[in-house]
Amino acid sequence: MTVATALKAFRISAWVTGVGLLLLTFYAMPAKYIFGDPRPVALIGMVHGFLYMIYIVCTLILAERCRWNPVFAVVILAAGTVPVASFFAERHVTRKVQTEHLAAAGT
């Protein structure tokens, strides 16, 4: 897998994970704790957990391809657990990878 392909997979997984976490945080959790309906948390929570695992794999593949510092990789991994943070992480990582790896490769 090339760096460009790994970046594309990371970007997609970051956005999907971020949207799932926003749904969980701002729709499912209020539905459970304000309106007493636990079903959205059960469904959206399970889906978000699965999507977060995909985000972890995509992030680790990209980190390995780009030879990231392990601390930086952990910070990017943690962004999938904080609402809205995955969107900022995706933007930061995309700029970093494009300037450091893709521009140098001429891709």
pLDDT(3) > 80: yes
pLDDT at 101: 83
pLDDT at 99: 92
Q: What would the pLDDT profile of 29-87 be if each residue is shown by its tens digit?
A: 999 999 999 999 999 999 999 999 999 999 999 999 999 999 999 999 999 899 999 99
CA-nearest of 29, 52, 26 to 40 is 29
Concatenated DSSP letters for the chain?
A: --HHHHHHHHHHHHHHHHHHHHHIIIIIHHHHHTT---HHHHHHHHHHHHHHHHHHHHHHHHHHHHT--HHHHHHHHHGGGSTTHHHHHHHHHHHHHIIIIIHHHT-
pLDDT(105) > 70: no
Out of 4-13, 20-29, 62-71, 96-105, which region has the weakest mean confidence (pLDDT)? 96-105
Regarding predicted confidence, which is higher, 101 or 26?
Answer: 26
